[in-house]
Amino acid sequence: MTHYSRRRVLKMVGLVTIASAAGQLLPLPRLNAAQSLINVTGLDDFMQVSQLLTQQENLNATVGRALLLALTQTQKGFLQALTQLKTLLQNQPALLQQDHLTFAADADSEKLAKVILGGWYNGVVGKGNHALYVTYVNTLANLLVDDKLVPPGFSYGECGSWAQQP
């Protein structure tokens, strides 16, 4: 490859990188505007239900807001279903003491509870082409083991040190 060709390739890579970065940054004002549309009551209810389901008192409010936004986009009638789930959990706290999360009398609330838990633990809401990626490092699954394990994809050593046997 000649010097001229290399320079053209580097310019193209630079343009693609800038275009990709711009594409990632431009939707942010719309996201912030959409986040402000979620009323505080919806966020409070979501955080209360999330604390009950996860049995975690100190959930990250920023992650909670992002999960709430993703859930309202992927789950039809989410806020109404959330209110129903909150009422169910408050009226029947024994449901959360079971080995397996099952609500025999209310399958829709059980499904919603599992979707909420999946969002907190996996950082993804929805399935297939409609799945929304919310967080990775801040998932409860990673936070529960962060004192022992480095999140996958992160290497806290020199390049390639992860490949050497301990």
Low-confidence ranges of the chain (pLDDT < 70): 1-41, 150-157, 162, 166
Domain encompassing residue 48: 39-149
Sign for the pseudo-dihedral over CA of 72, 75, 79, 83: negative
Domain assignment present for residue 65? The answer is yes
Q: Is-contact 65 44, C-beta < 8 A?
A: no
Whole-number pLDDT of residue 26: 43
Domain assignment present for residue 157? The answer is no
Whole-number pLDDT of residue 43: 93
Q: Are residues 7 and 45 in the same domain?
A: no
Q: Are residues 101 and 78 in the same domain?
A: yes
What are φ and ψ of residue 132, in 5° steps? -115, 125
Beta-bridge partner residues of 124: 133
pLDDT for 12-39, tens place per residue? 555 555 545 544 444 444 445 454 554 5
Residue 127 DSSP one-character state: -
Task: Give dist(CA 63, CA 128) in Å, integer.
Answer: 21
User: How many other CB atoms are there within 10 angstroms of residue 29's CB atom?
Assistant: 9
Structure token digits, residue 155: 């290497």
Q: Are residues 90 and 24 in the same domain?
A: no
Domain assignment present for residue 162? The answer is no
Task: Give dist(CA 81, CA 45) in Å, integer.
Answer: 11
Q: Are residues 5 and 22 in the same domain?
A: yes
Q: Are residues 85 and 102 in the same domain?
A: yes
Place of tokens 């297939």: 128
Q: Are residues 141 and 62 in the same domain?
A: yes
Whole-number pLDDT of residue 112: 94
What are φ and ψ of residue 134, in 5° steps? -105, -50
Q: Are residues 29 and 92 in the same domain?
A: no
Q: Are residues 20 and 54 in the same domain?
A: no
Domain assignment present for residue 165? The answer is no
Whole-number pLDDT of residue 8: 60
Q: Are residues 66 and 48 in the same domain?
A: yes
Q: Provide the greatest CA pair distance for the chain.
A: 74
Whole-number pLDDT of residue 71: 94
Q: Are residues 24 and 45 in the same domain?
A: no
Domain count for the chain, please give it: 2
Place of tokens 């999140």: 151
Q: Are residues 48 and 60 in the same domain?
A: yes
Domain assignment present for residue 32? The answer is yes
Whole-number pLDDT of residue 29: 44
Domain assignment present for residue 127? The answer is yes
Q: Are residues 106 and 67 in the same domain?
A: yes
Whole-number pLDDT of residue 31: 47
Whole-number pLDDT of residue 82: 95
